[in-house]
Amino acid sequence: MSERPVFLVTHPRACSTAFERVFMTRRDVLKCAHEPFGDSFYYGPERLSERYADDEAARESSGFSKTTYSDVLNRLERDGSEGKRVFIKDMAYYLMPPNGKPATIAPSLRKSADYTEEGNPTVIPLKILKKFHWTFLIRHPRRGIPSYFRCCVPPLDEVTGFKKFMPNEAGYIELRRLFDYLREQKTIGPSVAGEANGHHGGEITITIIDADDLLDHPEPVVKAFCKETGIEFSPDMLTWDDEENQKYVSEAFAKWNGFHNDAIHSKSLTARTSAHKTVTDESENEEWRQKYGDEAQKVIRACVDENIPHYEYLKSFALKF
């Protein structure tokens, strides 16, 4: 295809599924892939996550216990051969080993003895990373982390199957490492989306969306994103209240049960009307303590504080609204 697949990379609970729903309305020109690399990251023979390391039954029941990183990429290539542009929404941390461990190229993607690539934090060779049009979605850790924590503890953990909160799934540091590597390799940038100097030839601009901007100004944000990625914008993309679309989305999100219920049952993306609450560390701590208990509050606070610098760094490159 003449147009590169759009790869929206993010971290958990970043409002990314609501954003993804917008582009699922354009099935006339787009083929959407919902978190495909989670299959190989969690379940396959090349899995990087520790979450199901001792749970073979869960890996088998997922249907992806034999899925490699090569299988995922081949699936995306087949999607792109159907005459539509591929739109991928996925987590940055699905592409690299947890806890900052050095990355080696996934065995299924090794064409020679080159097991590593200098500076590459992912298990995907650079020549493959260069095939995508990379974009980014971020959300402040004070909102993203507690939301993800809730999915990993009772009672919601019975639905999601995620029986414990793992701070290394926060995803911010991996998003930053991927972002920096793509910049260093000139796969994105140097121009930032929305800057006056605009595009330079075939350059892929740095396109980072903040979830708060998306929730406050959905139409301008989606319109700006479409401009940077070469997707034709229509205001109709912000509404999906029809049976066919609802059925399609429910099936697409089914493999991550319990994580996307709000997005599944939504009918549109409209600007929120409630103002931001003024919060302090103390008020947040108390809110988390009341919801989850003393020990959980400490875990959430530590994870939020650890990831704020990574969020603020990425935020400095975000589109301005």
What does the pLDDT look like over 10-37, one tens digit per residue? 999 999 988 999 999 999 999 999 999 9
Mean pLDDT of 45-61: 95
pLDDT band at 248 (very low <50, low <70, confident <90, very high): confident
CATH number 3.40.50 is the correct assignment for the domain at 6-277+308-315: yes
Q: Which class for 188: exposed (0-12), middle (13-18), buried (19 or more C-beta within 10 A)?
A: buried
Nearest-angstrom CA–CA distance, 55 and 100: 24
Q: Which class for 35: exposed (0-12), middle (13-18), buried (19 or more C-beta within 10 A)?
A: buried
Whether 212 shows a pLDDT value over 60: the answer reads: yes
Whether 43 shows a pLDDT value over 60: the answer reads: yes
Mean pLDDT of 223-235: 96
CA–chain centroid gap for 281, Å, is 26
Mean pLDDT of 147-157: 95
pLDDT band at 113 (very low <50, low <70, confident <90, very high): low
Mean pLDDT of 145-173: 95
Which residues, including other chains, have CB under 8 Å from residue 276's CB and lie 6 or more apart?
212
Which residues, including other chains, have CB under 8 Å from residue 287's CB and lie 6 or more apart?
none
Residue with tokens 């205001």: 235
From 22-26, 88-92, 251-255, 278-282, the region with the lowest mean pLDDT: 251-255
pTM of the entire predicted model: 0.94
Q: Quote the crossing angle between the two packed helices 281-292 and 141-150, to the nearest 10°.
A: 0
Tell me what the pLDDT averaged over the chain comes to: 92
**pLDDT in the model for residue 262:** 73
pLDDT band at 245 (very low <50, low <70, confident <90, very high): confident
Query: What is the dihedral angle through the alpha carbons of 237, 240, 245, 250, rounded to the nearest 10 degrees?
Result: 110
pLDDT band at 164 (very low <50, low <70, confident <90, very high): very high
Nearest-angstrom CA–CA distance, 194 and 172: 23
pLDDT band at 2 (very low <50, low <70, confident <90, very high): very low
User: DSSP labels for 3-47?
Assistant: SPPEEEEE-TTSSHHHHHHHHHTTTTTEEEEESTTHHHHHTSTT-
Whether 274 shows a pLDDT value over 80: the answer reads: no
**pLDDT in the model for residue 100:** 92
Mean pLDDT of 167-186: 98
